[in-house]
Chain A
């Protein structure tokens, strides 16, 4: 079981190293398979550790240390992994979905000049994410945290000749770095009060801190989680991150990295339980994000950006869940979301790949006629996303709302937000579907669509989509609150649901009745507006349209608040300090040295007698000095 976890961790890294060391000696196709196989081996390791832990009677946490990584004064941080229900759960999701996506990448990135670099990066990303979820102490978690941020930067800016991609990568990295900084500050507070960062010790330390201190720690962790998971106010990087290749969007910005924030809050839940205000803030952020993202998605014209905002919105749900204490509900939604969101991205990728890399939905119309199989796969994913009964989203989203219902007074507010969010989800998702898939293909589509040997895509792309379609359809049946809850039971030793978040049967029933109805209302409205007959026109509210198209002016606000002052300061320093002082000091020093040298050169007369004279004179003077000083 422990060996399986280590295998899971090191296999993707081995893949990366192999690809990097092989360089151009390994054919590009083979590199793709190396990457895929390394992640599948990781999945096998995850299965091994999962079943090993399952067979183990007490499902407690098992730690395994490889070596002492850091020993500084009192603080020791070993390189240790933890094998417990939560980590094995995450390992399975990450390596499973990751393996499918890397397989998909073989087909998607075929023909790209720098395929090898891509597969090296993506294997490295899987390794970093596994380090994050398997890290046995806070510091190792932070290491994995930082490394996934790095991989994200490398992969978003993969097509580095595009200035927009480079800018997006920088934006993502900087915002994530802000989150990393708050995370690190929280760790500093913990280190100041204890000399180990293992989970149990950290939680015990936090419980002894004063309320304001533990609030600070929780706030730092929340800052990191919000940045990584693209919650308001640190969300503006996620839509821009769609500049990366579609499999990257599927893996990093849908299934795994952005869910790291949720994982963090779940893992460090004792600290959040000690700081209920911050937990409430987390839930509130989630609620605000899910509404705002849902609204913005209504006006997006890029197929990937719609799905990106949908991701933001769904993670808002997860934050709401872990904020109020329904941890296993949040994790379950994380799992189903990984399935159907990756599916949506991958079907979008199939469309993009087949139709000349076009992503603007105004040009992509009637795609369903030429790509029917993709249409059905997308439909399954959309249904799961909206929460139509029997599809996976239904089983995972509604319990989150139900858990909110009786949680103090604000629970009802969250519940209502969640329901509004469900309406919006139905609306924007099926807006996308009705615009892109049904009807007659547009001239653009007819002209640029090409089949791949008679099929809609290479088998490396079709097989993962098929697998995920099945999972998105039926994976939800694994847990049907309150009837059977194996996932909650599995995770309960590590992340027990808080009492306030226990949903009664009544809560479950009401929510599970109302939420799908509201979702279907959203679908119907979308059909009326965007469907074939266009019974309803889009209401034209110019100020609202502007607000949504500018994404609530967050980008403009940050530009004004941070970017412009920074640029002004940098220019000030360059003009008033760097140029007059630093850049002239160097040449001045050089010239001064040269002048000194020229003056000293005159002493080299070339005449032996002068040299000897100086020798003798010097000796005489020295002798006088010694005689006097004596």
Chain B
């Protein structure tokens, strides 16, 4: 299991570090009281995930993760969190209620099941992975796949983004609020 080579050792060290960072930041996200800190923890999580993707020869996905997720999505999150203002919420309000307990159980169950599947049920199939060429995971290779085998999903994703943009604009626009205010005023006047 342990690769006995310099490259292998470095990979292992990087993997342990990134993995640890990933897990810790994940726990941090759900634990902090201040949403701002949670968002920052998520940025750390995304960065460590990008490292893990690099270890799995998915260079383009790692780059996209940093650019899109950490760069765009999280910035948006931070903006909204700042806009909404400070809010403190005790995560373990008045001791663990039945909901918290049940949630722990459910999440734990899911985790255990997945581990069981990976460890026991998969048999020996997950032991070794074939080696891949250098083109695997490269942007050009991904781009070619997008435009040939997976063109439909590519196009549909663009539509999803368009819809989301429109939805975001509508949700965030002022007109609804002013219409409601004007209606209230008219109701009171009339």
Contact = CB atoms under 8 A, between A and B. Distances in A.
A630 B121 contact: yes
A616 B117 contact: no
A513 interface: no
A627 B113 contact: yes
Interface of A: 609, 613, 616-617, 619-620, 623-624, 627, 630
Contact of A620 (B109, B117, B121): B109
Interface of B: 99, 102-103, 106-107, 109-110, 113, 116-117, 121
B177 to A, nearest CB: 24
Contacts of A616: 103, 106-107, 110
Contacts of B102: 613, 617
Contacts of A624: 109, 113
Contact of B106 (A620, A627, A630): A620
A620 B110 contact: yes
B122 to A, nearest CB: 12
A617 B105 CA distance: 9
Contact of B110 (A609, A623, A627, A630): A623
Contacts of A623: 109-110, 113
B99 A609 contact: yes
26 contacts: A609-B99, A613-B99, A613-B102, A613-B103, A613-B106, A616-B103, A616-B106, A616-B107, A616-B110, A617-B102, A617-B106, A619-B110, A620-B106, A620-B109, A620-B110, A620-B113, A623-B109, A623-B110, A623-B113, A624-B109, A624-B113, A627-B113, A627-B116, A627-B117, A627-B121, A630-B121
A613 B117 CA distance: 22
Contacts of B107: 616
With most chain A CB atoms within 10 A of its CB, the pick from B103, B106, B107, B121 is B106
A201 B103 CA distance: 84
A617 B116 CA distance: 17
A623 B110 CA distance: 8
Contacts of B99: 609, 613
Contacts of A627: 113, 116-117, 121
Contacts of B103: 613, 616
Nearest to A616: B106
Contacts of A630: 121
A619 B114 CA distance: 12
Nearest to A618: B106
Contacts of B110: 616, 619-620, 623
A619 B113 CA distance: 10
Contacts of A609: 99
Contacts of B113: 620, 623-624, 627
Contacts of A619: 110
Given A620-B110, A627-B116, A627-B117, 16 more contacts: A609-B99, A613-B103, A613-B106, A616-B103, A616-B106, A616-B110, A617-B102, A617-B106, A619-B110, A620-B113, A623-B109, A623-B110, A623-B113, A624-B109, A624-B113, A627-B121
Question: Considering the complex of A and B, which 9 residue pairs feature the smallest CB-CB distances, nearest first?
Answer: A620-B109, A616-B106, A623-B113, A617-B106, A620-B110, A620-B106, A613-B102, A613-B103, A609-B99
A623 B121 CA distance: 13
Contacts of B116: 627
A620 B114 CA distance: 10
A619 to B, nearest CB: 7
A623 B116 CA distance: 11
A630 B121 CA distance: 10
A217 B109 CA distance: 80
Nearest to B109: A620
A421 to B, nearest CB: 93
A617 B110 CA distance: 9
Contacts of B106: 613, 616-617, 620
Contacts of B109: 620, 623-624
